[in-house]
Amino acid sequence: MKVTTDNISTSTGASALSVYVRTARSGDIKPLSELLSSSFYRKAGWSRWVYPLLKLGISEDLRQRLRSAKAFYACLAAVHISSPNTGKQTDELIGTVEIACRQPYLWQVKEHSYVYLSNLAVRSDRRRRGVARKLLATCETVAMDWGFKDIYLHVMEDNPQARRLYGKAGYQIKETEETPLTWLGLSSRRLLLHKPLKKH
Ligand SMILES: CC(C)(COP(=O)(O)OP(=O)(O)OC[C@H]1O[C@@H](n2cnc3c(N)ncnc32)[C@H](O)[C@@H]1OP(=O)(O)O)[C@@H](O)C(=O)NCCC(=O)NCCS
């Protein structure tokens, strides 16, 4: 995957970080599991007791997916470039996302296969510097290279940061999903977002 060092400006005034996006390898499992668990779970309070187990689960699942070497699957890792002029990379993994092909359900006869994004996360001390935007843009390029026309992903309704990111990137709500947990007020609704891909 090519080095991408463009400087996108951010509305916070902080300059965008220069990152190199590449496919993840087995040596990345440890830092990526740490990044994912710290991005999706709290380490404080009672959660700190289950946190190591959740992290282990994330790490094993990721190991399986990287090993399975399925067609149309990639785990992407964003690596910080310390000196953009020379393109010098650090070993610092600051973001990740997974991209995979999904088949429609049997009853969705008119639907075609599509690309689904999951596990998008950026290290907390590197956020609001354009890293997620860069990862999403790379996913779109990969999906188009694979020949797909649509990208889908889920986001929780109570995740305004991510919803803003996806909204700005052109994703729109396709479905709002409820479960018994949402009816009981124990969980927020899941939104299925969609973006049609266009060749530029
Ligand atoms: C959501 C997340 C991936 C965003 O990563 P990021 O690298 O900080 O995002 P970017 O810097 O590329 O932001 C792009 C745009 O998204 C929006 N955005 C991102 N974070 C935001 C925040 N905290 N508040 C408001 N808007 C935000 C802004 O519009 C931003 O553009 P701007 O900075 O020019 O205003 C990151 O906050 C994260 O890892 N969160 C925890 C895990 C998670 O929720 N993942 C998404 C699962 S669906």
pLDDT in tens, 131-187: 999 999 999 999 999 999 999 999 999 999 999 999 999 999 999 999 888 998 888
pLDDT of amino acid 109: 59
Q: What are the domain boundaries of the chain?
A: 3-148
pLDDT of amino acid 85: 72
Beta-bridge partners for 115:
101, 151
pLDDT of amino acid 196: 95
Beta carbons of 119 and 99 less than 8 angstroms apart: no
Q: Report yes or no on whether pTM surpasses 0.85.
A: yes
Q: Which residues are catalytic?
A: 166
pLDDT of amino acid 17: 86
Tell me the C-alpha distance between 155 and 121, whole Å: 12
Distance 107 CA to ligand 1 centre (A): 35
pLDDT of amino acid 9: 52
Tell me the C-alpha distance between 152 and 143, whole Å: 11
Q: Does 11 sit in the ligand 1 pocket, CB within 6 Å?
A: yes
Distance 188 CA to ligand 1 centre (A): 19
Q: Which fold has domain 3-148?
A: Aminopeptidase (3.40.630)
Q: What is the pLDDT along the chain (200 residues), one digit of tens a residue?
A: 544 545 445 667 677 888 999 999 999 999 999 999 999 998 888 888 999 999 999 999 999 999 997 889 999 999 998 876 776 667 799 999 999 998 876 666 567 789 999 999 999 999 999 999 999 999 999 999 999 999 999 999 999 999 999 999 999 999 999 988 899 888 899 999 999 998 65
Atom of ligand 1 nearest to the CA of 134: 12
Q: Does 165 sit in the ligand 1 pocket, CB within 6 Å?
A: yes
Question: Rg (Cα) of the chain, in Å, rounded?
Answer: 17
pLDDT of amino acid 46: 83
